[in-house]
């Protein structure tokens, strides 16, 4: 899958309360959660996002709660990919399980600024900054997680095991 | 090659040979947990997987503790989903109404989790059970939904950071201060993807409740688990709670650690985590004098009976500042009852505290203690993220129960020794 969109830079240690505050956790609906995405960072944040835009986080993106509502709200906001220096562990698993593509790129994250146009090849992990011309290769996805992705996510993976 | 505690427990739950950090292993799980926020999504995934029944009705725990007593219609509907599922599947450990407590205080107390277990929970503070020597870790709802269906999950064997706690702590300094201090040293991502393993004379002398307070906050340093060795004290605690099984467990002498952190607690002051991250830690005196509007004493970190006693010791014969809401939430019904029997309730009420039911409510800004813009709270909970307890313009400081109680009395953050 190739994704082209605007970068939205959000900084280090973006926690799950910033992504989707607890008061919105009375639903599991992706659209509703998406409408309040990053409400804990800044009121009305989601209004700047267009379909297929890319979130760019820093260190430890997604730290905090186990709430799967966090990756669901990012997807619900129309964002299919998050690039980060590093991801918090629970969020990382959740992202893959939900089909949100997460690419870890360490210090290369500094090659992306807010509002840059970014093109991401989710299969190869190659990320092009169309604004600056920079190209970055993301760390490969561990083989076992690739297996889950190939199955079509954890729901499909478990479905096969249960069959 | 020697094994760490994390490697030993995972080895006992997989057919594969655990060779070291980074390896992905498929493991059987002993207990799968979810709460009223995360279970509805887990159930949704469980059904989408085509699962018809849970792998073992005795190995699932569903605890409705976050938005309960239900704060609104939506949360009531969420609990209904969980209740109906529990009934349909015949889940043994389903808790709500008068039986419910904060999940991570409730499960150890009821002997549902214990030494040597592998526990996955759709709640990030599932790591609490590491205090009992369980490999317990938080996951998302879909992972937990799959766990409920399959009875197994995959883990990447984590590298381990060994934390040695030595020395003799002073008055009003305990488990919460040790863990805040350690998070300050490691940083909130210092243990990202890793296991934290604790040892040293302080650990040997520490109560099981204290160990759970420390294990609880492993996730606040990014950790996957916070593990304590299983000693006789652990076995006694677990068997008294009704847990069957468990055996002594220590890491091998030649276990491989990624990093060793030595902390001497002698002379350590009570610690406070300042906004807006749990690693922004300072000795309490450096934050003294900051006016507070609310104090919260409770949660899966510090809502156990020892914490209640610690708060009561400070509050006894004193009055909470009339401008401060001091909210006390004993974490389970049996802790509540013990507070009554030991006369702590009278102390709390006489001091002018608000004593609530067991609930996670204020910790996550759910209900029963939300902060307005410009307000500041001191709390025995585990997170002080921006807006965590309410308004984005509010502030949360984390501390031990004695500091929170003393600050409630003073109306400002204070070292209990100086009250």
Phi, psi of B13 (to 5 degrees): -120, 10
Q: Residues B56, B180: one domain? A: yes
In a domain, residue B33? The reply is yes
Alpha carbons A79 and A100: distance in angstroms, whole number? 8
Distance from CA of A125 to the nearest CA of B (A): 21
In a domain, residue B192? The reply is yes
Alpha carbons B206 and B208: distance in angstroms, whole number? 7
pTM (2 decimals)? 0.97
Please choose, from the candidates B220, B210, B154, the residue with its C-alpha nearest in 3D space to the C-alpha of residue B182. B220
DSSP at B54: -
List the strands of the sheet with B271-273, edge to edge: B281-283, B271-273, B395-398, B376-379, B294-298, B325-329, B354-355
Structure tokens given for B51:
């699962």
* Beta carbons within 8 Å of A114's beta carbon, 6+ residues apart: A7, A8, A9, A56
The DSSP-derived string for A7-30 is EEEEESS-BHHHHS-GGGTT---H
Alpha carbons B64 and B82: distance in angstroms, whole number? 8
Pairing of strands A126-129, A117-121: antiparallel
HSE, side-chain direction, 13 A CA sphere, residue B31: 31
Judged by CB atoms within 8 Å, which residues 91-130 of B form the interface with A? 121-124, 126
Judged by CB atoms within 8 Å, which residues 12-71 of B form the interface with A? 24, 37-38, 40-41, 44-45, 48-51, 66-67
Contact A68/B at CB under 8 A: yes
Domain containing B108 — which CATH number? 3.30.499.10
Domain A2-162 has CATH 3.20.110.10: no
Q: Residues B113, B252: one domain? A: yes
Contact at CB, A159 and B49, closer than 8 angstroms: yes
Q: Residues B243, B279: one domain? A: no
Q: Identify the domain containing residue B226 by its residue range.
A: 10-16+23-262
Sign of CA dihedral B40, B42, B43, B49: positive
Contact at CB, B142 and A40, closer than 8 angstroms: no
HSE, side-chain direction, 13 A CA sphere, residue B344: 24
- pLDDT attached to residue B288: 97
**How sure is the predictor about A9, in pLDDT bands with cuts at 50, 70 and 90?**
very high
Q: Residues B58, B189: one domain? A: yes
Q: From B211, B240, B262, give the residue that closes a domain.
A: B262
Q: Residues B240, B283: one domain? A: no
The region of weakest confidence among A17-26, A139-148, B162-171 is A139-148
Contact at CB, A27 and B24, closer than 8 angstroms: no
- pLDDT attached to residue A145: 80
Q: Residues B220, B75: one domain? A: yes
Contact A32/B at CB under 8 A: no
Please say whether the beta carbons of B200 and B210 come within 8 A. Answer: no
Q: Residues B292, B379: one domain? A: yes
- Report CA Rg, chain B: 20
Helix (H, G, I), strand (E, B) or coil at B66: coil
Please choose, from the candidates B283, B268, B278, B279, the residue with its C-alpha nearest in 3D space to the C-alpha of residue B379. B278
In a domain, residue B164? The reply is yes
Structure tokens given for B380:
């025995």
Contact at CB, B189 and A25, closer than 8 angstroms: no
Domain segments of chain A as ranges: 2-162
Q: What is the ipTM of this complex?
A: 0.94
Contact B139/A at CB under 8 A: yes
* Beta carbons within 8 Å of B252's beta carbon, 6+ residues apart: B2, B3, B4, B8
Please say whether the beta carbons of B271 and B184 come within 8 A. Answer: yes
- pLDDT attached to residue B1: 79
- pLDDT attached to residue A150: 78
Distance from CA of B170 to the nearest CA of A (A): 31
In a domain, residue B217? The reply is yes
Q: From B223, B243, B262, give the residue that closes a domain.
A: B262
Spell out the per-residue pLDDT of chain B, length 419, in tens. 799 999 999 999 999 999 999 999 999 999 999 999 999 999 999 999 999 999 999 999 999 999 999 999 999 999 999 999 999 999 999 999 999 999 999 999 999 999 999 999 999 999 999 999 999 999 999 999 999 999 999 999 999 999 999 999 999 999 999 999 999 999 999 999 999 999 999 999 999 999 999 999 999 999 999 999 999 999 999 999 999 999 999 999 999 999 999 999 999 999 999 999 999 999 999 999 999 999 999 999 999 999 999 999 999 999 999 999 999 999 999 999 999 999 999 999 999 999 999 999 999 999 999 999 999 999 999 999 999 999 999 999 999 999 999 999 999 999 999 99
What angle is formed at CA A157 by the lines to CA A155 and CA A162, rounded to 5 degrees?
90
Residue B363 marked as a ligand binder: yes
Judged by CB atoms within 8 Å, which residues 102-141 of A form the interface with B? none
Residue of A22, A95, A157 to mutate, interface with B, max B Cβ within 10 Å: A22
Q: Residues B299, B366: one domain? A: yes
In a domain, residue B334? The reply is yes
Q: Residues B216, B74: one domain? A: yes
Structure tokens given for B108:
């150890």
In a domain, residue B419? The reply is no
| Residue A86: how many other CB atoms lie within 10 Å | 23
Residue B326 marked as a ligand binder: no
Output the CA torsion B293→B297→B301→B305 (10° steps): 170
Alpha carbons B21 and B14: distance in angstroms, whole number? 15
Q: Residues B356, B230: one domain? A: no
- pLDDT attached to residue A142: 80
In a domain, residue B135? The reply is yes
Q: Residues B175, B244: one domain? A: yes
Contact at CB, A162 and B123, closer than 8 angstroms: no
Alpha carbons B28 and B21: distance in angstroms, whole number? 19
Domains: count for chain B: 2
Q: Residues B241, B362: one domain? A: no
Element (DSSP H or E) covering residue A55:
strand A54-57
The DSSP-derived string for A133-153 is --EEEPPPPPHHHHHHHHHTS
Which residues, listed in sequence order, are joined to residue B378 by a DSSP beta bridge?
B295, B397
**How sure is the predictor about A139, in pLDDT bands with cuts at 50, 70 and 90?**
confident
When CB atoms are compared, the residue of B75, B193, B383 closest to A89 is B193
Q: From B245, B262, B279, give the residue that closes a domain.
A: B262
Contacts of A142 in chain B (CB under 8 A): 24, 156
């Amino acid at each position: 899958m190739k994704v082209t969109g605007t970068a939205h830079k959000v900084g280090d240690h973006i926690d799950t309360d910033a992504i989707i505050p607890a008061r919105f956790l009375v639903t599991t609906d992706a659209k509703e959660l998406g409408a309040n995405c990053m409400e804990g960072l800044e009121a009305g944040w989601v209004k700047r996002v267009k379909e297929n835009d890319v979130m760019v986080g820093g260190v430890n993106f997604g730290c905090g709660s186990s709430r799967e509502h966090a990756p669901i709200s990012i997807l619900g906001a129309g964002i299919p990919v998050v690039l980060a220096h590093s991801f918090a562990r629970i969020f990382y698993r959740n992202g893959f399980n939900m089909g949100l593509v997460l690419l870890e790129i360490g210090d290369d994250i500094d090659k992306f600024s807010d509002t840059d146009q970014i093109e991401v090849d989710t299969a190869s992990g190659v990320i092009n900054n169309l604004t600056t011309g920079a190209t970055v290769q993301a760390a490969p996805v561990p083989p076992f997680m690739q297996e889950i992705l190939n199955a079509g996510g954890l729901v499909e993976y478990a479905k096969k095991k249960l069959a | 090659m020697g094994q760490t505690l994390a490697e030993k427990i995972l080895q006992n739950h997989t057919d594969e040979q655990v060779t070291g950090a980074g390896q992905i292993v498929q493991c059987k799980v002993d207990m799968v947990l979810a709460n009223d926020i995360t279970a509805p999504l887990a159930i949704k995934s469980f059904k989408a997987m085509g699962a018809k029944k849970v792998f073992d009705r005795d190995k699932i725990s569903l605890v409705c503790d976050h938005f309960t007593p239900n704060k609104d219609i939506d949360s009531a509907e969420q609990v209904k989903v969980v209740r109906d599922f529990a009934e349909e599947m015949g889940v043994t450990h389903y808790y709500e109404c008068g039986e419910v407590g904060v999940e991570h205080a409730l499960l150890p107390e009821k002997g549902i989790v214990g030494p040597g277990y592998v526990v996955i929970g759709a709640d990030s503070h599932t790591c609490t059970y590491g205090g009992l020597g369980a490999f317990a870790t938080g996951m998302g709802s879909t992972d937990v939904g799959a766990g409920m269906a399959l009875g197994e999950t995959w883990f990447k064997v984590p590298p381990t950071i060994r934390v040695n706690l030595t020395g003799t702590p002073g008055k009003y300094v305990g488990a919460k201060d040790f863990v805040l201090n350690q998070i300050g040293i490691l940083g909130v991502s210092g243990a990202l993807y890793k296991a934290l393993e604790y040892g040293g004379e302080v650990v040997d002398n520490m109560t099981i409740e204290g160990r759970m307070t420390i294990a609880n906050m492993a996730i606040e340093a990014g950790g996957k688990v916070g593990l304590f060795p299983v000693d006789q004290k652990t076995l006694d605690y677990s068997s008294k709670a009704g847990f069957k099984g468990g055996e002594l467990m220590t890491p091998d002498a030649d276990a491989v650690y990624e990093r060793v952190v030595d902390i001497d607690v002698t002379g350590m002051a009570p610690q406070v985590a300042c906004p807006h991250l749990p690693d922004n830690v300072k000795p309490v005196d450096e934050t003294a004098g900051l006016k507070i509007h609310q104090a919260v004493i409770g949660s899966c970190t510090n809502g156990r009976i020892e914490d209640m006693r610690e708060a009561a010791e400070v509050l006894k014969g004193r009055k909470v500042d009339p401008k401060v809401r001091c909210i006390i939430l004993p974490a389970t019904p049996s802790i509540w009852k013990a507070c009554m029997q030991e006369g702590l309730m009278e102390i709390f009420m006489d001091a002018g505290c608000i004593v609530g039911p067991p609930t996670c409510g204020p910790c996550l800004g759910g209900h029963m203690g939300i902060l307005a813009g410009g307000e500041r709270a001191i709390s025995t909970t585990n997170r002080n993220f921006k807006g965590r307890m309410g308004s984005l313009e509010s502030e949360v400081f984390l501390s031990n129960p004695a500091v929170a109680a003393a600050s409630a009395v003073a109306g400002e953050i204070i070292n209990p020794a100086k009250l």
